[in-house]
């Protein structure tokens, strides 16, 4: 018999992502609609350990769907890596009557969720990260907004780069993942993209590309580097030194995590948050909500961890062909 959940807790953890507020709103309102009490835990697992816990009602989530960031705040919490911290967290949940918990975050946060589940708190993960690096799902809340923000910023860099006939090396976020970089590579029409998932072209090959494009009359050369590859400033210095072409490095950084969520992120946030509540009501625990082949489903956290996230080979191929095609 499925354990009946009476009180649902919701927290956001890891890096914030646009659309997390839509997910919080959906958890709160769907939870209330299903007759549950809903509590918000502020500042992720750190807030749980500090008992930063508030009652949520339908009004607590008014006027947030359009806002970036997370109204519950977020954190990275060292103590939660330890069994002692996890046990303390589970006991605090019990103290507040929280018998079902929705953790909105990335792969790291789901490891915390799994630990709580093992300690008797029914826990559901909702994928919220701009990195798109959760194995079991085709989509993670925040990616679309982040990639659009990065794309618009890179368009602007391209304007000035072309005016000065420079080479630009732009680093986008993605701790271990190249999705934002690959998407920007295609949508910004960059000359080269470096991502951590595949063997990248060498610095020598980059230099050859820059020099040969310049000979063909190209006014700019745009290289996009995923954060997981790193070395952006050093690479820019080396390219300038060896090509004699003025080169600038730009690290886009945290601006990619902010801003009003796109319709895609509001939609997935709302649908995934609502689905997480229904899974709790069915007695599920230790699972991650997933968007696969156009529909919502779920995988156990173990299963998700074992699955391999395969970067889209066709996107890499298309990116490389379109990048290199110069008249």
Ligand X SMILES: Nc1ncnc2c1ncn2[C@@H]1O[C@H](COP(=O)(O)OP(=O)(O)OP(=O)(O)O)[C@@H](O)[C@H]1O
Alpha-carbon gap, residue 262 to 241, rounded angstroms: 40
Alpha-carbon gap, residue 70 to 3, rounded angstroms: 30
Q: Which of 189, 163, 165, 327 is nearest to 244 (CA)?
A: 165
**Any idea what DSSP says for residue 51?**
T
- The CA distances from residue 144 to 64, 187, 316, in Å, are 18, 12, 18
Q: Which of 131, 133, 144, 265 is catalytic?
A: 131
Q: Is 156 annotated as ligand-binding?
A: no
Q: Is 136 annotated as ligand-binding?
A: no
16 binding Mg ion? (CB under 5 A): no
| From candidates 5, 11, 15, 168, binder to ligand F6P by CB under 6 A | 15
Alpha-carbon gap, residue 174 to 129, rounded angstroms: 10
131 in catalytic set: yes
Structural contact between residues 135 and 111, judged by C-beta atoms closer than 8 angstroms: no
112 binding Mg ion? (CB under 5 A): no
Stretch that binds ligand F6P, among 77-85, 111-119, 123-131, 302-310 (CB under 6 A): 123-131
> Of residues 116-135, which lie at the interface with ligand X (CB under 6 A)?
129, 131
100 binds, among Mg ion, ligand F6P, ligand X, none (CB under 5 to 8 A by kind): none
Hey, which residues does 297 pair with through a beta bridge?
Answer: 290
> Of residues 76-105, which lie at the interface with ligand X (CB under 6 A)?
76-77, 80-81, 105
User: Judged by CB under 6 A, how many residues of this single chain contact ligand X?
Assistant: 19
Stretch that binds ligand F6P, among 124-132, 183-191, 205-213, 290-298 (CB under 6 A): 124-132
31 binds, among ligand X, Mg ion, ligand F6P, none (CB under 5 to 8 A by kind): none
Least distance (Å) between residue 40 CB and ligand X: 17
227 binds, among ligand F6P, ligand X, Mg ion, none (CB under 5 to 8 A by kind): ligand F6P
Stretch that binds Mg ion, among 40-48, 101-109, 157-165, 284-292 (CB under 5 A): 101-109
| Cβ-based neighbours of 275, under 8 Å, separated by 6 or more | 289, 296, 298
Q: Is 106 annotated as ligand-binding?
A: yes
**3-state SS string for 63-106:** CCCCCCCCCCCCCCCHHHHCHHHHHHHHHHHHHCCCCEEEEEEC
Alpha-carbon gap, residue 258 to 146, rounded angstroms: 8
**Any idea what DSSP says for residue 164?**
T
Q: Which of 195, 205, 191 is nearest to 172 (CA)?
A: 195
Q: Is 67 annotated as ligand-binding?
A: no
| From candidates 19, 69, 100, 108, binder to ligand X by CB under 6 A | 108
| Cβ-based neighbours of 317, under 8 Å, separated by 6 or more | none
Stretch that binds Mg ion, among 33-41, 94-102, 104-112, 214-222 (CB under 5 A): 104-112
Tokens describing residue 275: 């689905």
309 binding ligand X? (CB under 6 A): no
Alpha-carbon gap, residue 134 to 305, rounded angstroms: 8
Residues marked as binding for ADP? Answer: 25-29, 158, 189-191, 216, 218-220
Q: Which residues bind ligand F6P (CB under 6 A)?
A: 14-15, 129-131, 173-175, 227, 257
Q: Which residues bind ligand X (CB under 6 A)?
A: 13-15, 45, 76-77, 80-81, 105-109, 111-112, 115, 129, 131, 175
Residues marked as binding for substrate? Answer: 129-131, 166, 173-175, 227, 248, 254-257
């Amino acid at each position: 018999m499925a354990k009946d959940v009476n009180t649902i807790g919701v927290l956001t953890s890891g890096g914030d992502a646009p659309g997390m507020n839509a997910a919080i709103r959906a958890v709160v309102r769907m939870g209330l609609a299903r007759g549950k009490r809903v509590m918000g835990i502020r500042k992720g697992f750190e807030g749980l350990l500090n008992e930063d816990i508030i009652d949520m009602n339908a009004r607590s989530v008014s006027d947030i769907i359009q806002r970036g960031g997370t109204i519950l705040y977020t954190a990275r919490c060292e103590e939660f890596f330890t069994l002692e911290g996890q046990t303390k967290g589970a006991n605090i949940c019990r103290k507040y009557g929280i018998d079902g918990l929705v953790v909105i975050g990335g792969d790291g946060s789901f490891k915390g969720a799994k630990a709580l589940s093992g300690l008797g708190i029914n826990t559901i993960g909702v994928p919220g990260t701009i990195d798109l690096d959760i194995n079991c799902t085709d989509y993670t809340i925040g990616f679309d907004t982040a990639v659009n923000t990065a794309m618009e910023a890179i368009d602007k860099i391209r304007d000035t780069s072309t005016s000065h006939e420079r080479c630009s090396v732009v680093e986008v976020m993605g701790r271990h993942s190249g999705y934002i970089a690959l998407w920007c590579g295609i949508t910004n029409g960059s000359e080269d993209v470096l991502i951590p998932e595949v063997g990248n072209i060498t610095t020598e090959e980059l230099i050859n590309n820059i020099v040969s494009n310049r000979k063909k009359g190209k006014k700019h050369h745009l290289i996009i580097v995923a954060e997981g590859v790193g070395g952006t400033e050093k690479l820019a210095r080396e390219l300038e030194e060896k090509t004699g072409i003025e080169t600038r490095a730009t690290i886009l950084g945290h601006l990619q995590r902010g801003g009003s969520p796109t319709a895609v992120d509001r939609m997935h946030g709302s649908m995934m948050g609502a689905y997480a509540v229904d899974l709790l009501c069915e007695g599920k625990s230790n699972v991650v909500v997933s968007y696969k082949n156009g529909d919502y489903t779920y995988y156990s956290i173990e299963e998700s961890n074992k699955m391999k996230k395969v970067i889209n080979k066709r996107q890499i191929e298309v990116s490389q062909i379109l990048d290199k095609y110069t008249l």
